[in-house]
Amino acid sequence: MSTVLARAQLRQRADYTYKFNSKTGRHGWLRLTPAYSVKIVEELIVDHDQDKRVFDPFCGTGTTALSAAYHGHECVTTDINPFLLWFALAKTGQYSPQQIVATREACASVLDFVRRQSIKPVPAPPIHNIERWWNARSLDFLRLLRAAIVEVTQDDSIERRLLLVAFCRSLIGLSNADFNHQSMSFKDNGQLDIGLDIDLTSVFNQDVRFVLQGASENPTGVARVILGDSRNPSEVVEGPFDLVVTSPPYANRMSYIRELRPYMYWLGFLSNGRDAGELDWAAIGGTWGIATSRLVDWSRKEQHFESDRLTHVLDKIAHADNKSGVVLANYVAKYFDDMWAHFQGLVPVLASGAEVHYIVGNSTFYGTVVPTEILYAEMFEALGFTGIECRAIRKRNSKKELVEYDVVARWG
C-alpha cells in the first residue's frame, strides 16, 4: 500500500448546524450550488484567522469567495467561464443603501414598461428547442423584461447587474428545467403550463426583492474575481495564498456549459452551439458537443503524471464491453492531465505552510471506479505536499461507491 493510501483517512462528518446561509440570500441567488457545499466551505473558512489570504482556482458561482469575504478574508478566485465570473462579481460585490433603493426604483420602471408593453422585446435567444424550456407566454414576458432592463438601466451599472441576477432567477423559475438531479433535466411536458395563470411581473418583483435582500448584507472582506485558466494560476493571480478551498470539476462528464446554457444565452455570453462546445473543451472535464468528438483523436502529452493506479483504471475503462470505452478512457486521462497541470501551477502561488482543500467526488465508468481523491493525493505527494488526507464528506447518491471527499494537504 502506498504511503498516501496508508495516510488516507475516512472521516464521517457529523451533522452541520448551518446558520450562516439564513443570514443572507446571496448563496441562493442562482439554483446552482448545492447547499452542502456551502456548508462545507463555510466550515473550512471559519476555522482560519482573518489574515489568511484565500484562493479558489475554480470559482463557479463564487461560494468560497463569498464565504471568505463574509468572514473578513481577502479572497482571489478564478474561473474560465465569463458568465460565472460576472455572477460571482455580482454576488461578492458591496452595495450601498442608495444603490439598493435605485435598483428598487429601476425595477418599478422596468415593470411599468413590461405592463404597458411599450418596448420592443429582444429576440428569443438561439437556444435549441426553446419551446421545451418556456411556454409562449413566459417566453414573451422574458423577452419584454430583458428589453426593459436594458432600456431603464445604464451599461455596467449596479442597477442593471442586480436586475439581471433577478432576471436569471425568474427565467429558471418560469422554465421547465429541473435542477433537482445531479445534472439539469426537464420536468414532464405538463409543467410547461407554468406561468399560464400567474402574474409574471410579480414573479420578477419577488426575485428582485430576494436579490436585494441578499445584496444589502455587505461582506467585510474583499473578493477579487478574475478570468483565468487554473492550469496556470500564476499568469493571472499573485500569491502567496495561505488557504485554498475549492471544488474543482469532477471527472464525471457533467458539463457546466450545458447547465448554464439558459443564463448564458439570455445574457449574451453565448450566441451559438459551436461557442458553447469550444468553451466546454477549454474547461477541465468538459465533455459536451465538440469536446467529445475531439477526445476521439486526443492523446496524452509525453510529460504526464505517472501513476500505476491511473494506468490500470484507464486500461479497464478502455477495454470495457462498450464502444465508447476508448473515448471515455481519453476523457478521464485528459481530466487528470489537466489537474496535474493545475497542481503544478498552484505550487508557485502558495505560501509556506499553506493548507489546501479540494472538495471532489469520485466517479464510475462502466463499473470501474475512478478514485479521484486518491489520485489527487498521489499528485500532492509527488509534488512534495505533506499531511495528505482524503476525508469522506458524504455519499453522493444511491450508488454506494460514489462519495464526496475533502482532499486536504499542506505545502511546505
Ligand X SMILES: C[S@@+](CC[C@H](N)C(=O)[O-])C[C@H]1O[C@@H](n2cnc3c(N)ncnc32)[C@H](O)[C@@H]1O
Q: Is residue 175 within the footprint of ligand X (CB under 6 A)?
A: no
Q: Is residue 287 within the footprint of ligand X (CB under 6 A)?
A: no
Out of 77, 247, 292, 362, point to the residue binding ligand X (CB under 6 A): 247
Supply the DSSP symbol for 403: E
Residues 6+ away with beta carbon under 8 Å from 107:
163, 166, 204, 205, 208
Segment holding 300, helix H or strand E:
none
CB under 6 A: which stretch of 95-103, 128-136, 145-153, 228-236 binds ligand X? 228-236
Nearer to ligand X, 203 or 332 (CB): 332
Q: How far is the CB of 21 from ligand X (least distance, A)?
A: 13
Nearer to ligand X, 78 or 372 (CB): 78
Q: Residues 406, 361: contact at Cβ < 8 Å? A: no
Out of 8, 76, 84, 393, point to the residue binding ligand X (CB under 6 A): 84
Grid cell of 256 as nine digits: 457546466
Nearer to ligand X, 201 or 287 (CB): 287
- Start-to-end Cα distance in the chain: 24
Nearer to ligand X, 195 or 361 (CB): 361
Contacts of ligand X in 40-79 (CB under 6 A) = 58, 60-63, 78-79
CA-based nearest residue to 368, from 405, 408, 328, 335: 328
Q: How far is the CB of 205 from ligand X (least distance, A)?
A: 27
Q: Is the dihedral of CA 111, 117, 119, 124 positive or negative?
A: positive
Residues 6+ away with beta carbon under 8 Å from 157:
none
Q: Is residue 305 within the footprint of ligand X (CB under 6 A)?
A: no
Q: Is residue 205 within the footprint of ligand X (CB under 6 A)?
A: no
φ, ψ at 50 (rounded to 5°)? -65, -25
Out of 133, 256, 335, 365, point to the residue binding ligand X (CB under 6 A): 256
φ, ψ at 121 (rounded to 5°)? -65, 155
Nearer to ligand X, 249 or 262 (CB): 249
Q: Residues 246, 349: contact at Cβ < 8 Å? A: no
Q: How far is the CB of 263 from ligand X (least distance, A)?
A: 12
CB under 6 A: which stretch of 47-55, 243-251, 363-371, 379-387 binds ligand X? 243-251
Characterise 135 by phi-psi region: left (phi > 0), alpha (psi -120 to 50), beta (else): beta
Q: Is residue 81 within the footprint of ligand X (CB under 6 A)?
A: yes
Catalog residues that contact ligand X under the rule CB under 6 A.
Answer: 32-33, 37, 58, 60-63, 78-81, 84, 229-231, 247-249, 256, 283-284
